[in-house]
Every structure is written in structure tokens, then in C-alpha cells.
Amino acid sequence: MTELIKKSVQEFVIELSGKAPTPGGGGASALAGAIGIALGGMVANLTVGKNKYADVEDEMKRLRASADRVQNELLALIEKDADAFEPLAGAYRMPAGTDAEREAKARVMETSLKEASLVPLSMMKRCAEAIDLLREFAEKGSRLAVSDAACGAILCKAALQSAWLNVCVNTMSIRDRAFTDRVNGEGRELLEKYLPRADEIYSKIEEGFMDGV
């Protein structure tokens, strides 16, 4: 366990800019998603307890619990992404001087690449769930915090796209095309559905500001 999430923001960013392969794009994607859905939690906390929003208080509490879960899952995926890279890095270092060594290396590479592709796919799924939650926060939460819901949606959109690239960089080298087609297919479906959904949340809030809401 790398315990990246126990680092300070400054430590994480400095380490992200370094030569080490982790944390990298995958960890940054998960962090962006976690920050995005955390803004949804902020909307909930600014809504709960206000008389004006008493009719949605129970729903806000339910949504907040879901947001907390997704946030924690995304933070855990920062660690999982780094952990998944370790066997892959080891596979790249394996000798390949003989046919037997090349075959052994290829087997380990295949397994490691599959595992490494599934982690960012999980990030995409959590980001998609986060975008759905943020839409509800934007629609039902305190009007004083709708900009936070919109910011969260765009962060989760960026995280979704970034995680997708981390899926692709691994699946492109996997020989099991059935596996690759399935994973890539799931990723593309998430992009097609949730990129427009995130944009819709953002645009609706921005237009509301322009209209003086």
C-alpha cells in the first residue's frame, strides 16, 4: 500500500510532478473525481438544516451519504492505481532473451495490463455515479451552492476523460481482444452518456447566473 492519500496536498502535487511513474495520470484522475464529488457533499451540508429546504432534507442526507461513499471509493482508487502499476513495472523488467523467457514475460504482461486497465475503468464508473449525484445536488440543493455542484460536475467530467486515457494506454497492448473490446466498450458507453450530462449540469448553472438567478 502506497498510502498516497495520507500525503498533504503539497506533497502529493510535488510527487506527481516527479520522475516516479506513480502517482501519475490515473491517481490524478481519481483525485479530481474525489474533489468533484466532495463539492456535492458541500452542497448537501449547506442545504441540510435550512428551513427553506426542509422538504428535501431527507433526500439531501441520502445523497450526501452516497457522495461520501463515492468520494471514499475514488480516494481508494488512487492507491489501487499505484498498486496495480507495480506488477506491470516488474513485468517490463523481466528478461526476454530466450523463447521461454519471452513467453513468461508475455503472460505476466497480459495479466498485469488487464489489472491495470480495470482500475481506471472503475474510476470512470465512480465518476459517472458522481455526475448523476451532482445533477441532483444542482437541482435540489441550496441555490447559494449551485456553482459548487457545477464545478464538481466539470471536475468529474475531466476525471472521467482522464481515466479513459488510462484505460486505453493499457488495453492497446493487451492481446486478449475479447477482453479489450469489452473494457473499451464499457468505457466508451460511459463517455457517450456522461460527458454530455456533465456539460448539461454546467451549462444550466452558468445560464442561470447569466439570467440573474
CATH number of 23-210: 1.20.120.680
CA separation for the pair 149, 180 (Å, rounded): 34
CA angle, 40 then 46 then 47, to 5° = 90
Q: What is the pLDDT of residues 95-144, one digit of tens each?
A: 888 988 889 999 999 999 999 999 999 999 999 999 999 999 999 999 99
- pTM, full prediction: 0.93
Query: What was the pLDDT predicted at 136?
Result: 97
Q: What is the pLDDT of residues 50-79, one digit of tens each?
A: 999 999 999 999 999 999 999 999 999 999
CA separation for the pair 205, 121 (Å, rounded): 28
CA angle, 145 then 150 then 155, to 5° = 125
CA separation for the pair 151, 80 (Å, rounded): 26
Q: What is the pLDDT of residues 7-21, one digit of tens each?
A: 899 999 999 999 988
